[in-house]
Amino acid sequence: MSKRHKVGGSPGPEGVAASGSADGAGTGVVRVRLDLAYDGAGFSGWAAQPGLRTVEGVLTAALTTVLRTPVRLTVAGRTDAGVHAVGQVVHLDVPAAAWQALPGRSRRAPEQALLTRLTGVLAREARQAWRVPDLPSTVESSSQGPGGGQDERVPTAGSTRAAGRVPRGASDVVVTAASQVGPDFDARFGALWRRYTYRISDGASLRDPRRRGHVLWTEGVLDVEAMQASALPLLGEHDFLSFCRPRQGASTVRDLRRLCWQRVEGAGADASLVTLSVEADAFCHSMVRSLVGAGLEVGRGRRPVAWPARLLAARSRRGAAPVAPPHGLTLEEVAYPDAHGLAAQARRSRVRRSLC
């Protein structure tokens, strides 16, 4: 059983501290939750970085334009360059006057007005970033998109290596929902768990070139049964130092609740792919991709089934697990307690854990 020590914070998903304040909203301030999805191929990760196109940078600029006031975002988890999301969550505090002014003369709720205006601003940013002309939304292009295969290079704003032609109204980051929440909601510390999926096309899979930027292509047929057998000893609360790139002073103790390798059967977009579904209270930096890398070593027959468990027990960066490429990884979902449990969950998450 781990012990918890009060500290100022702990790593978020993929191990990087989230930006923004976690304090409750003050007088005259509205706390807003945003749910979003993005294609990570065109971004240098989540976190804002000077001179680079990042999800945080693009979204912050769009919100500042729409709200006409500076904003700071707190995110459920900073994803690495090239990693995608369909279930990312952020929160921000908005001056009440700016929030109430969003609908203008319309009868829309502030949430709907925010979504509509963000959609337009983000679409304009995407067209400018990729430097491509407007096309009607009905026009289809056969041009190749960025990334794909095992290419980990990430194009930056202004790159001429465009993701096909961008139809009018399209963007590679979309805010899917906006809602006003109470001051106890914290996108980072309030989360109960995060769930990721990693997708792989091996020699037994049908390769879809349209998804090459979201699926890792690898040669040979993976031994999925061996991969799953190697994953079972990793479940539970452990020190995952051998699977992380730790930050100074940060804990690498995590509660890994799901680690499921399977070959997807039946119909659907993922049919015949090998997937890893992984769920934990939080992830330290590069932890998910290291778990994938260890599983791939076993599935390719390069390492025995017991090797990942030995790595875990070593608790050492020496001989650490290889890190899989980012483009096969997607943040699928972040779960939160009901409103009554938010404050208590945030307090628990702020405590640094150890196994001593």
Residues with active-site annotation: 80
Q: Which residue, among 258, 263, 247, 129, has the nearest Cα to 194 in the 3D structure? A: 258
Nearest alpha carbon to residue 313 among 235, 239, 228, 255: 239
CA angle 154/167/197 to nearest 5° reads 45
Cβ–Cβ under 8 Å, residues 326 and 81: yes
Helices and strands counted in the chain (H then E): 7, 12
Instruction: Let me know: does 356 contact 110? Beta carbons within 8 Å.
Output: no
Task: State the virtual CA torsion across 278, 282, 286, 288 in degrees, nearest 10.
Answer: 0
Amino acid at position 144, single letter? Q
191: its two tokens: 């989360």
Distance, first Cα to last Cα, the chain = 8
